[in-house]
Amino acid sequence: MTATARLQDLFVETGALLRGHFLLSSGLHSEQYMQCALLLARPKIAEELGASLGALSESVDLVVSPAMGGLIIGQEVARALGARHYFFERDQDAKMTLRRGFTISEGERLALVEDVVTTGKSSKEVADLIAERGGRVASWLSVVNRSGQSPAIGTAPLKSLLSVAIPSWKPETCPLCKKGEPFIKPGSRKQ
C-alpha cells in the first residue's frame, strides 16, 4: 500500500473525512471536509505523520504553525526535526499574531506547518509576519493540500502528504446553497 493510500484509509477509518455542506475557513463552501483534528487525536498517527512531514523539510531552526489546525501536527514535525515549535493565533480582531513570549530572530529559517491547505490564506498571513520579523520560510508543509494546485510561499513550495482536488465554491455559486441545504462551519477562523 502506498503512503497516499494509507493516509486516505486513515481519514476514513478515523472518521476524519466528513461529507455534507461545509463553510471552510477560506470562506468557500464544499461537500467534503477533512477534519485533521480527528485524525491527529490519535498520538501514534500524529507522530507518524509528523515524522513523514519532517522528512520533507529543509533544515530549519524553528517550526511554526497557525492555530488551531496546525498546533498538533506542528508540534510533531518539531519533535521529528528536534526544533522548537511556536504558533500564531488570532487576536480579538481576528488578526494573526505571535504571543506568549514567542519571538523570531533575524535570519532564522522556519518550517511553516498546516494541517489542511485550501487557499493558503492562513499560511500567507503567518509567512508575512515571519518576514516582518526577519525570519524566512524555508519549508511549507501540510498533511493535506486540497487546493488542486501547487502553491508556494516565496521560494518554499507546498509539500504535502496528500494532495487532493476537492471541489469548493464561492457561496454565490455553491450548488448545495442553491438546493437550500444548510451548511456547518467546522473550522476555527471567524469569517
> What mean pLDDT is reported for the chain?
92
pLDDT band with cut points at 50, 70 and 90 for residue 2:
confident
Say what the pLDDT of residue 151 is: 84
Q: What is the pLDDT of residues 121-177, one digit of tens each?
A: 889 999 999 999 999 999 999 999 988 888 888 889 999 999 998 889 999 999 999
What is the SS3 assignment for 11?
helix
Cell of 40: 491527529
Task: Give percent of the chain above pLDDT 70.
Answer: 97
pLDDT band with cut points at 50, 70 and 90 for residue 78:
very high
- Per-residue pLDDT for 26 more than 70? yes
Angle at 112 between CA 60 and CA 120, to 5 degrees: 155
pLDDT band with cut points at 50, 70 and 90 for residue 190:
low
Q: How far is CA 120 from CA 33, 115, 126, in A?
A: 16, 11, 10
CA 33, 37, 41, 43: dihedral to nearest 10 degrees?
A: 100
Can you give the C-alpha Rg of the chain in angstroms? 16
Give the C-alpha separation, 119 to 83, whole Å: 27
Say what the pLDDT of residue 8 is: 92
Contacts of 34 (CB under 8 A, 6+ apart): 11, 16, 17, 18, 116, 144, 146, 166
Q: What is the pLDDT of residues 143-156, one digit of tens each?
A: 999 888 888 888 89
**Domains, the chain, ordered by start:** 3-178 (3.40.50.2020)
Bridging pattern class, strands 168-169 and 29-34 = antiparallel
